[in-house]
Amino acid sequence: MNGSLVQQLPAWGAVAALAVLVLVALSGAAADGLVTARAEGRRGGGFAPVAETARLLRQRPRGTVAADTLLRRVGVVGLPVAAALKVAVLPVGAWVVSDLAVGLVWFNTMDVMVWALVWLAGWGPNSVHSLVGGYRFLALALAYELPLMFALTAPAVAAGSLRMADIVAAQDGLWFVVWMPVAFLVFCAAVLAFSLQRPFTAPLSPDIAGGVLAELSGVERLLLLAGRYLLLAAGSGFGVALFLGGGAGPVLPGWAWFLAKTLVLFWLLLTVRRRVPALRPEQLMAPAWVVGLPLILLQVLVVAVVSVAGKG
């Protein structure tokens, strides 16, 4: 497949892409609930997301004194929206909702927007605990964002394009993960970070009464929790497109391979998340900037040299 063969979906395609994103996120939430239930000796863990959704939909909303309701709701509702906007440029096999020439930049833009949304969700309630959680996320973002930007640069340099379809097409015969392992690992770590998964859960830590979640209830709490899984699902899809060949694979159609790879990476990230402890932002800054950043810069240099040599 090459970029020119990617077709934009008709009007209903956006709804279909959103439905697929939700289904991938729900599968991960169900699997996560099942594993948690088994660890705690409970039954019916796979239905935990359904039970929690029903509970939060019935829960009466609560608020704090002098809360900025508008900003809080923008932050909470914005997380699922950001995840949906991310997948708008994601080629699912031979189909894409919007084939932007700067699709990779669009993905990074939505990631930066998540900074503002999480901070607004912490600022809006006018609560010390939620505000500290919002600022913790900003500190966390400082640790992961620069390495992530260079991790995104590596496949763009190799493909000579910022269009997602071109990046997928450039992996014909050899997936980028094979010769860009550092970029892939840094990208996966960043996906866990911007989706507020361990070890990057300091903004939701119990030591600040749940942080950003402290004052949220009912539908607002549900949307923020759902946004975490949706962002993780969207990030997994981009990991497949950037490093795992997109929809490339034998026998099955491209969209089927893409979804299968996305589910595998999604569940793998959930598994890794369960096996690592939560870390504070200051514990992440030094490894990210002193170890991760030089390694990813070296990775980009290797990719640039190989790309230039190949064209020569």
Q: pLDDT of 200-248, one tens digit each?
A: 998 998 888 888 998 888 889 889 988 999 999 999 999 999 999 988 8
Residue 247 contacts residue 168 (beta carbons within 8 Å): yes
pLDDT of residue 13: 63
- pLDDT tens, position by position, 11-57: 556 677 777 788 888 777 777 776 666 666 666 555 667 777 788 88
How far is Cα of residue 305 from the mean position of the Cα atoms in its chain? 29
Least Cα distance to 162 among 257, 242, 86, 82 occurs for 242
DSSP 92: B
Q: How far is CA 46 from CA 34, 35, 49, 77, 287, in A?
A: 4, 8, 7, 25, 35
User: What does the mean pLDDT of the chain come to?
Assistant: 86
Residue 109 contacts residue 161 (beta carbons within 8 Å): no
Q: How far is CA 162 from CA 87, 168, 270, in A?
A: 15, 11, 28
Alpha-helix residue ranges (DSSP H) falling in the chain? 11-40, 48-58, 69-87, 103-123, 128-159, 164-169, 176-179, 181-194, 218-243, 254-275, 281-286, 293-311
Q: Can you tell me the mean pLDDT for 61-86?
A: 89
Alpha-helix residue ranges (DSSP H) falling in 3-44? 11-40
The reply to whether the predicted model has a pTM over 0.85 is yes
pLDDT of residue 40: 61
Q: How far is CA 210 from CA 71, 72, 119, 229, 243, in A?
A: 19, 16, 14, 17, 34
Q: How far is CA 204 from CA 2, 40, 129, 143, 304, in A?
A: 42, 21, 10, 17, 39
Tokens of 67: 């809360």
Q: How many CB atoms lie within 10 A of CB 38?
A: 12
How far is the C-alpha of 218 from the C-alpha of 62, rounded, in Å? 8
pLDDT of residue 39: 64
Residue type, 179: W
Residue keyed to tokens 């910022």: 162
pLDDT of residue 252: 85
**CA-based R_g, the chain, Å:** 19
- pLDDT tens, position by position, 252-296: 888 899 999 999 999 899 888 888 888 888 888 888 899 999 999
pLDDT of residue 44: 57
- pLDDT tens, position by position, 130-183: 999 999 999 888 889 999 999 999 999 999 999 999 999 999 889 999 999 999
Whether the per-residue pLDDT at 127 is higher than 50: the answer is: yes
pLDDT of residue 2: 42
**Omega before 155 within 30 of 0, i.e. cis:** no
Residues in the chain: 312
Whether the per-residue pLDDT at 1 is higher than 50: the answer is: no
Share of the chain above pLDDT 90, in %: 48
